[in-house]
Amino acid sequence: MSTESTNLNSLGLPKEPKDTRVVVAMSGGVDSSVTAAMLHEEGYDVVGITLQLYDHGEIIARTGACCAGQDIYDARTVADTFGFPHYVLDYESKFKESVIEDFADSYARGETPIPCVRCNQTVKFKDLLDTAKDLGADVLATGHYVQRNGDETDAQMLKGADPKKDQSYFLFATTQEQLDFLRFPLGHMDKTETRALADKFNLTVADKPDSQDICFVPDGNYASIVEKFRPEAVEAGDIVHIDGEVLGTHKGIIHYTVGQRRGLGIGGRGANSGTDPLYVVKIDPENRQVIVGPKSALATPRIRLSDVNWLGDTKLSQGPVEIGVKVRSTMQPVAATVEATELGDVEVTFAEPMNGVSPGQACVFYQGDRVLGGGWIQRRIS
């Protein structure tokens, strides 16, 4: 190998850009469009792929939803403008099974799901990544706002440079093998810089608004999706105080989440709650009950996780690790300890009890700006 060939390109590979095939996941939004255009302008062999994840006929006129009809058109327009290949792959069946039905199942279990994480975990960074390799790609690039530190192997994931756009919480399930193959060219930028590049490249999507809703939920009405797949989750039941007093009725457990205070419809208090406002502290799907209590009942000292992805330098079985954790995407990391139990379970102990911890959400591990993985919150431990 010559000395020149050992020089790394901007994607950390010992190749010339023209000899480096990059498959770009293109949702039709500004971020992925800029990613593809930028890499093409750098001279990389770019191939764009857009996933058709659901029947977009029903929402073809709806804006702000990724992978709908307009978004597929927008992605293809960008590819045609720059002259690189673009393919639309039908992943509708896989998406329905792995994401939409899982979303409905999670609500039926009394959990609060995060379908965007499931999509990354089961479709985009699994099936799409395999497809990219089948196309001879050296790497798969996305428009996510996270950073990747390292070259071909043993890469680390870091928070996005722009704290307002950091998407590391939603990518906690990315495995080491996947991370080594992935690239995030926008991770060091903020959204203003991205839109400036979109203007520079004269992209038709330069002013396209960011997607705000879950892509497969028309008008944000997720209850209609759950009712279609799991009708039992919308059956009425009792709202019960933690002391056992029935305070009222609800119209289905899917309308409630742990930590919720407003919209309970029980006049604020029951005989057992004194003058304190009431919060949802637990969902009991088996008995179709929403359990409420004072804010103090939300305090959670410890949680058990399932499907843990660990990106740390040592094994969790070697002993407790002090980390920062986020149990909601919008919060700042808080001090905690993660460890594997003798039975092989993974538990997180908070330095200070946390409020509003909901099964079905993600607990993501951090060490400074580095992402150490995370897991799904299975249950609270007193």
Q: Is 215 assigned a catalytic role?
A: yes
Q: In what order do the strands lie in the sheet with 237-241?
A: 246-250, 237-241, 289-293, 279-284
Per-residue b/e over 71-80, b at no fewer than 16 CB within 10 Å?
Answer: bbebbbbbbe
Instruction: List the structure tokens of 73.
Output: 């058109």
**What are the distances in angstroms from CA 13 to CA 24, 148, 153, 181?**
16, 14, 10, 11
Catalytic residue among 67, 116, 215, 363: 215
- SS3 label, residue 280: strand
Instruction: Kindly compute the dihedral angle of the four CA atoms of residues 151, 157, 158, 160, in this order, to the nearest 10 degrees.
Output: 90
Q: Is 119 assigned a catalytic role?
A: yes
Catalytic residue among 66, 67, 116, 119: 119
Cα–Cα dist 307/77, whole Å: 39
Identify the CA nearest to 144 among candidates 122, 124, 123, 118.
124
**What are the distances in angstroms from CA 161 to CA 95, 132, 182, 326?**
30, 27, 17, 17
**What are the distances in angstroms from CA 75 to CA 47, 49, 125?**
12, 9, 19
Residue 87 pairs with which residues in a beta bridge? Answer: 49
Q: What are the residue numbers of the active site?
A: 119, 215
